[in-house]
Amino acid sequence: MTGSRGLVGGLSRVTCFTYDLAREAGDGALVQGWGKKAQDEGSHEMGVLRNGVIGLTVLAGFSLSVTAASADGSTSGSPAYEMPAIWRGLYGGVHLGNADTDGDNGVVGGVQLGYNWQTQRIVYGVEGDFSLSGANSIDWLASLRGRVGYLIQPRILLYGTAGLGLVNGHDTNSGFAYGVGVEGKLTRTLSARLEYLAYDADNNAHSHSDTVGVVRAGLNIKLDP
């Protein structure tokens, strides 16, 4: 809108200048006399020259007006898009879900702490978690995993995760933990997630199955600025 006003103002000034120039030139021609042939020929040559000058003036004024309008419009554009801050930096949160090992089901709940990095739509990082279990054969679970995901839109992250898993029954067994999940931004610094994790731990005491499946929901909050 500002660029349009600048363009109209520039053209108006050029038109006024052109009109004054033509009137002054016309008055001069009348003073010198239009009846003499030699002066008519000179006036014709001067008219051609005058028309050329006027044309160049109009063209220059129009070019300057367009240039000014373009420069003005370039500063009034929309601000650069900024991805949500929750996908970068340190975060912590809580989770609650269900653990299943050969039909031995129980509620699990605990905390997680992690750190994210972001490169355009790719979000990657590390996360550690600890969960208490209500299953008969499992006392607690823990893991330390890498995580990488893709933002299918700025608010929604699909991710996969894998790393070290620990399962404690009558003793503590270690193994491979892996899973998938989806996380969504609620506010600039708060997100919610739903994920599935599998713990493949060697159970030497046979107090639980070698594989423990966990479905859980969680909330995360960004901890650094």
> In the chain, which stretches have pLDDT less than 50?
1-8, 10-12, 14-15, 17-19, 21-22, 24-38, 41-42, 44-45, 48-49, 51-53, 55-81, 83
43-81: burial string, b at 16+ Cβ within 10 Å, e else: beeeeeebeeebeeeeeebeeebeebbeebeeeeeeeee
**Residue 201's pLDDT is what?**
82
**Residue 170's pLDDT is what?**
82
Question: Do 147 and 160 contact (CB within 8 A), yes or no?
Answer: yes
At position 54, the amino acid (one-letter code) is I
CA angle 198, 106, 92 (to 5 degrees): 60
Question: Do 184 and 153 contact (CB within 8 A), yes or no?
Answer: no
What's the pTM value of the predicted model, to 2 decimals? 0.61
**Residue 207's pLDDT is what?**
58
DSSP assignment string, 1-47? -HHHHHHHHHHHHHHHHHHHHHHHHHHHHHHH-SS-HHHHHHHHHHH
**Residue 95's pLDDT is what?**
98
Could you tell me which CATH class the domain 85-222 is placed in? mainly beta
pLDDT digits (tens, 9 = 90+) for 55-76: 444 444 444 343 333 334 433 4
**Residue 84's pLDDT is what?**
53
**Residue 192's pLDDT is what?**
98
**Residue 204's pLDDT is what?**
63
Q: DSSP 3-state assignment of 86?
A: helix
**Residue 48's pLDDT is what?**
44
The length of the chain in residues reads: 225
**Residue 224's pLDDT is what?**
82
CA angle 109, 111, 116 (to 5 degrees): 135
**Other CB atoms within 10 A of residue 153 CB:** 9
